[in-house]
Structure 1
Amino acid sequence: MPHPDPSAVQALLGSRASPCRRGLTGARGIALPPFFDHHVHLHLIDETQLAAHGIAGVVDLGGDPLALARRPRRGMPYVAYAGAILTAAGGYPSGRSWAPPQVVREVTDPSTSAGVAGGATTAVDEQVEYGASVIKVALNAASGPVFDDALLAAIVAAAHARGLPVVAHVEDGDGMTGTAERAVNVGVDVLAHTPFTSILAAEVIERAAAQQAWISTLDIHRDEPETREIAIANLRTFTAAGGRVLYGTDLGNGDLPVGVNPGELTALREAGLDAAAIVASLTDPWPGVAATAGGDASGTKASGTSTFIPGDPPSIDDELTAWLAGATVVPTEELIHDDLR
């Protein structure tokens, strides 16, 4: 049986998709760049299962910075990380069972001077010293106090001064609304979750789409239909406005599959992403996770690994997410790209 037309495959999945076969087994399928999960917590999962289920690299968005800094620089999963989550005094995730003290860094002073106890610059510098590629802040008003605008702006400025993006967990609650808009106003680069507490105004989403990426994490709401629909509706508007979507699951948050998550892919389809856009969200190298393994800046190559999905892409759209979830990580040199049709 011939391979599918490469041009048809690329029209469906994007320009970096290629029909191929595995040299060791002869199995036919599609080669793609490495897949990344842009929101995980490594201390809460069995990371050894990731590659077998399609995920080559991850972005840890809340972990012990010392433990993350001591990780081997080679091997899978390829890891970029934020280190500790910066939060207001007593703010989220302080006191959470999943977040030991090392995962939380309270910031109380907007000082731009290095070495100030509780200072914004001091907290950012600490994560940088531990090798962070991104700075994460908590704006979870549903679970405790959050930064005021001056302190939030100081953290963002300190991170940007060191060339690092800022990712924020935004969540309204306890009488406070507008956390997503506040993140836009101070120049936060990425939202750790698609906003899910209320439908955002179109003007706020348009501004966000012009300056931010959103990490999807839609499937964490699988048991909360109303919240799930709010998140999907916000992401649908964000995508329509040209926003950049990053595939992410918040892996470690509840009973999520380790690897490519079919539920997340299904929700992305509901939010209006086509197959090529979903693949783009999976292969996006933000914030340099490919480079942590010696890959190039575009994410097209991460230390000689590729994604292999057995079989031809399905012609029925509803079957696409199940097919993508069959991905595995293989050495790039193992894949043979046939010219035969």
Structure 2
Amino acid sequence: MTNDPHALRALLGPGAALCHRAITGEHGVSLPPFTDHHVHLHLIDEARLAEGGIAGVVDLGGDPVEHARREKRGIPRVAYAGAFLTAPGGYPVGRSWAPPEIAREVTDASTHPGVPGGAATAVDEQASFGASVIKVALNSAAGPVFDAASLAAVVQVARERGLPVLAHAEGDGMPQLALDAKVDGFAHTPFTGFVGRTFTAHAVAAGQVWISTLAIHRDDPEAAEFARVNLAGFAAAGGRVLYGTDLGNGEQPVGVNAAEVAALDRAGVRGADLIAAMSDPWPLAEPPTGVSTFIPGPPPTRLDQVAAWLAFATVVPTEELIHDEH
């Protein structure tokens, strides 16, 4: 175990500190609170998130009415997109896991408020229910997708409302369609092909965020490799990577996902960069308040130890932690 706070911060970032819990006396490391940037709360038991190390979530596809009714305090802190915006008959309409309340079919590219089926109407509905981000579905493998004009209308209106737009881009040409429309990021690291250096450079220059979701490809080695290489290139070029799991998609642990963390590490998002991806408060400006991540026991001393160590994270009140630095 190292007692050198400078070495600890060099490995894990400026928010890392040796500490102990005031009540139990248990020693460990405190870190900023973690956020899973891609979940679907209607498919999981959210009460287990905190004990598993997740203090905040971004719900990227749910019933906007139910989200608006949520208690605004407490852990996990929830930011949300509300419903998927999609083309008529597009993904996820008709999927067994997707009740009608979580999708809105945009049938008109109108940017005028109140037009039935209009782009502005769909964006404004999500905004009125407290959305912090807009999500568009561009999944050509599962149905129709927006044409360029409709997608541009959604992005324009969202930007006017101060809301970033994330794309679920799946299928040939879908990442490029999203990039050309100037979306603010990807709900999944592009995984249906290698995007290439030019695409990556443009995404980084545009200030995009890419949510990782690498571990969902556990049964598809080709998609896993596309995603790993694409994210590695984006991160190496200075792109803003966000930890996200698509929690609710298949069997996954409710809490820090060791497979996702390990996949990020393999993609070159390691050490302090990994902690930054997990603790980034996007799309909100500040992290969850009053809580910290606590990982008991000795801290890692090498980069190759960090990913596995993070699986033991839990969420505790910050006031319970006493720093041990001298």
Question: What's the counterpart of residue 88 of structure 2?
Answer: 89
Q: Please give the alpha-carbon distance, in whole angstroms, between the structure 2 residues aligned to 1:315 and 1:305.
A: 25
Cα deviation, 1:42-63, whole Å, max 9, x if unaligned, reads 0000001000010001000000
SS at match of 2:36: strand
1:170-189 aligned at under 5 Å gives the runs 170-172=169-171, 177-189=172-184
- Aligned residue number for residue 308 of structure 1: 294
Instruction: Report the alpha carbon displacement of residue 87 of structure 1 after superposing the two structures with TM.
Output: 0.1
**d(CA) in 1 for partners of 2:271 and 2:125?**
40
Q: Report which stretch shifted further, 203-212 or 98-107.
A: 203-212
The one-letter code of the counterpart of 1:64 is D
Q: Mapping of 1:125-164 within 5 angstroms?
A: 125-164=124-163
CA distance in 1, matches of 2:97, 2:24: 41
From 194, 200, 208, the equivalent of 2:195 is 200
Identify the match of residue 204 of structure 2 among 204, 209, 217.
209
1:324 aligns with 2:310: yes
Indicate how the Cα distance of structure 1 residues 3 and 336 shifts in structure 2: closer, same or farther if over 3 A, else same.
farther
> 1:74 maps to which residue?
73
* Deviation string, structure 1 residues 290-328 (Cα, Å, up to 9, x no partner): xxxxxxx342xx231010011222234443212111000
Q: Does residue 220 of structure 2 align to residue 224 of structure 1?
A: yes
Query: What amino acid maps onto 2:309 in structure 1?
Result: W
The verdict on how the C-alpha distance between 1:266 and 1:339 changes in structure 2, with shifts beyond 3 A counting, is: closer
Structure 2 residue corresponding to 1:190, chosen from 175, 185, 191: 185
Q: Residue 208 of structure 1 aligns to which amino acid in structure 2? A: A
> Is the counterpart of residue 33 in structure 1 residue 29 in structure 2?
no
Aligned partner of residue 15 in structure 1, secondary structure: coil
Extract unaligned runs of 5+ from structure 1. 289-296
Identity of aligned residues (%): 62
- Structure 2: gaps (5+ residues): none
Contact 2:196 2:230 in 1 (8 A): no
1:291 is matched with: none
SS at match of 1:253: coil
Q: Does 1:249 align with 2:240?
A: no
Deviations 1:151-182 (A, max 9, x none): 0000000000000000110011xxxx221111
- Separation (CA, whole Å) in 1 of partners of 2:2 and 2:179: 46
**Greater Cα offset, 117-126 or 318-327:** 318-327
Q: Secondary structure at the match of 1:58?
A: strand
Letter in structure 2 aligned against 1:30: V
Residue correspondences, number: 325
Shift in Å, 1:76: 1.4
Show CA shifts across 1:181-206 (max 9, x none).
11111110010000111011210111
Kept after mapping to 2: 8 A contact 1:82/1:132: yes
TM-aligned CA deviation for residue 3 of structure 1: 5.8
Distance 1:215 1:59 in 2: 11
Whichever residue aligns with residue 51 of structure 2, its letter is A
1:337 aligns with 2:298: no
CA distance in 2, matches of 1:66, 1:51: 24
Structure 1, residues 243-292: CA drift from partner, whole Å, max 9, x if none?
1000000000000111000000110011011211110000000011xxxx
TM-score by length of 1: 0.93
Aligned to 2:106: 107
Matched-pair contact (CA < 8 Å) for 1:3–1:19: no
Structure 1 residue matching 2:79: 3-state secondary structure: strand
1:4–1:312: 8 Å Cα contact kept in structure 2? Answer: no
Counterpart of 1:184, as a letter, is L
Conserved? CA contact 1:217–1:248, under 8 Å = yes
Aligned ranges for residues 222-301 of structure 1 at < 5 Å?
222-288=218-284, 297-299=285-287
The superposition leaves residues 117-156 of structure 1 with CA deviations (integer Å, 9 ceiling, x where unpaired) of 0100000000011110000000011100000000000000
Measured in 2, the distance between the counterparts of 1:141 and 1:75 equals 38
Deviation at 1:41, TM superposition (A): 0.1
Higher alpha-carbon deviation: 251-260 or 317-326:
317-326
Match of 2:48 in 1: 49
Counterpart contact for 2:119–2:154, Cα < 8 Å: yes
C-alpha root-mean-square deviation of aligned residues, in Å? 1.1
Contact 2:37 2:242 in 1 (8 A): yes
Q: Give the residue type in structure 1 aligned to 2:191.
A: F
- Following the alignment from structure 2 to structure 1, what is the Cα–Cα distance between the partners of residues 306 and 280? 19
Contact 1:84 1:103 (8 Å CA) reproduced: yes
